[in-house]
A = this chain, B = another copy of it.
């Protein structure tokens, strides 16, 4: 049932998906949904939490240093994040950031905490790359946002049918990001 709701939210958006839509797709009447969820918001919360977990879980271990070269750590983040992003694709009416407003303050906080965890991890990896001199000093926050932005927005424009594959795309973003990192602040870098 969560599965059904998630699909509908992604296809039509949260506000445009009615309880009647969900129940019909599930094969029951609207009233029955309330035997499983207390209200519509709880369904949204579960959908968002699930998605965020899927993004974070495969890269959680990068919180601690693991010996892998920072560029490889970065590649892992990009690959994993991109694959989750493009897995429940179809269309992308439910945009993560927008949907947050339909959550209660408590639930919103929980989701934002997860997003913060993601931010923390990618920033740690970028910082490690600076320390190991894989790339020069750079604004870690901004760099993190840039990389996440490139990945997140694939949901809007990516269509698997024609053109590049997910793996190609992952590779492209990785190289683009890596060289974006390497270039920025080059002057200071050369001085070392």
| CA–CA, A101 and B93, complex, Å | 8
Do residues B93 and A143 form an inter-chain contact, with CB atoms below 8 A?
no
Closest to A142 in B: B172
| CA–CA, A150 and B184, complex, Å | 15
Q: Please give the number of chain A residues whose Cβ is less than 8 angstroms from any Cβ of chain B in the complex.
A: 40
| CA–CA, A16 and B98, complex, Å | 11
Contact of A92 among B93, B97, B179, B186 (CB under 8 A): B97
Q: Which residues of B contact A93 (CB under 8 A)?
A: 98, 101
Provide the main secondary structure of the chain A interface: helix
| CA–CA, A93 and B95, complex, Å | 10
* Given A139-B164, A175-B184, A176-B184, 6 additional A-B pairs, CB 8 A: A13-B98, A92-B97, A93-B101, A143-B176, A146-B176, A180-B183
A-B contact pairs, 28 of them (CB 8 A): A13-B15, A13-B101, A15-B15, A16-B101, A93-B101, A95-B95, A95-B97, A95-B98, A97-B156, A139-B164, A139-B172, A141-B163, A142-B172, A146-B172, A149-B149, A149-B152, A149-B153, A149-B154, A150-B150, A175-B185, A176-B180, A176-B183, A178-B183, A179-B179, A179-B181, A179-B182, A180-B180, A180-B183
The chain A residues found within 8 Å of chain B, CB to CB, are 13, 15-16, 92-93, 95, 97-98, 101, 139, 141-143, 145-146, 148-150, 152-154, 156-157, 163-164, 169, 172-173, 175-186
